[in-house]
Amino acid sequence: MSYYKPLEYIVPTEDDGMVLRTILQKRMGISRKLLSRLKLTEQGITVNGERKYIDVKVRAGDRVAARMEMEASDDILPQPLPIDILYEDDELLVLNKEAGMIVHPTHGHYTDTLANGVVHYWREKGVSFRFRPVHRLDQETSGVLAVAKNPYVHQQISEEMQAHGLKKEYVALVHGVIGSDEGTVDAPIDRNPLAPHVRIVTPTGYPAVTHYRVERRFREATLARLWLETGRTHQIRVHMRHLGHPLLGDKMYGPGGTADEADKAAAEGRIPEADGSQQWHGASAPLSEGITVADRSATQPQPQAASSVCQAALPAADYAPLGRQALHACTLGLTHPVTRQWMEFHAPLPADMECCIKQLAQSEAAHEA
């Protein structure tokens, strides 16, 4: 049986006499689920090189080690695909995902994914890991994506993400001119019951918070930088549509997209519940309790509704360079699960978005002339 490099902890004086289970969970941060797996292997949990039961007491100076079995992604077909590696060590692989590439194989789409390329890359290096993306990016979203090389690393980063400790920064091009310099959208998100693949803003949804700041205004569009406190599916795309500023090139949430079609199917947008109450099922619920659009610009008044923040959206077809939504994950910051050092990874703006920005600037200059 083969193992990855062990996680080790030297027992300090203040932990003398502590139960091994406590050391593993409280000092080393090993989850109950992972601990159960480690207990089943010969070298999973050792003290000074000897296998031990987790109810024994340790002494100052003892070397506690946790070893995870090597894994493989046998269910993923290795495929030679170009991948852009930003960083790699024994625990982490950080990539710059190109737009148009699916992260993980799905039903009916088993090849040409990021996972296929990564598994092939690992096989060529003669190493074995299970493909565990720490988070997901939509197929048409480009940018930074981290892959954990073992279950402990995945667990640690997932917990940091749940505690809102990760830094996830995006750049987007949106329809219309955002009036406020910066702001926050605090608007719960859930599935549209009439189109489950589409997400909507609804007071009964899951908490979702997006912060934004205007980087540059064009005559008909805005370049914005965004930060996520939560990681709901399609969060930025849904929130910007809610503001009245859908992303350029967004086929689902942009003007005339799938979400608009779902709105039409929802008739008046309200469906009576069993208790006689009304629940909003449209794509942009009215601002009410639990749904907030906060304008933090010192020069702009506090908005009373989403429409007061923006100008009307423009036809998506006006911007030829983009064949996808103009969204790029530019920065990911996290605490390294083993070294405990804060790390930030950056992906440059892709060529298609650079081209679109150039076209918008040229259009503005021509209009002013």
- One-letter amino acid for residue 170 of the chain: Y
Give the residue numbers marked as catalytic: 138
Each residue's pLDDT tens digit, 234-280: 999 999 999 999 999 999 999 888 888 887 776 555 443 434 344 44
Report the candidate in 310, 306, 297 with the shortest Cα–Cα distance to residue 178: 310
What's the predicted TM-score (pTM) here?
0.83
**Which position has the token pair 């849904």?**
238
Q: How does pLDDT run across 292-328, given as a tens digit for each residue?
A: 556 554 333 332 223 222 333 334 444 545 789 999 9
Structure-model confidence comparison of residues 167 and 318, the more confident one: 167
* Alpha-carbon distances, residue 277 vs 55, 261, 272, 274 (angstroms): 54, 25, 6, 7
pLDDT value of position 214: 98
Mean of all residue pLDDT scores within the chain: 86
Of the chain, the end-to-end C-alpha distance in Å amounts to 72
Report the candidate in 12, 79, 306 with the shortest Cα–Cα distance to residue 185. Answer: 306
Banded model confidence at residue 366, pLDDT cuts 50, 70, 90: confident
- Give residue-wise pLDDT tens across range 92-127: 999 999 999 999 998 888 999 999 999 999 999 999
Q: At residue 27, does pLDDT exceed 60?
A: yes
What pLDDT does residue 288 have?
38
pLDDT of residue 292: 56
pLDDT of residue 266: 67
The separation between CA 324 and the C-alpha centre of its own chain, rounded to angstroms, equals: 18
123-138 average pLDDT score: 95
Place of tokens 């610009």: 297
The pLDDT of residue 268: 52
Comparing 44-48, 192-196, 264-268, 285-289, which segment has the lowest mean pLDDT?
A: 285-289
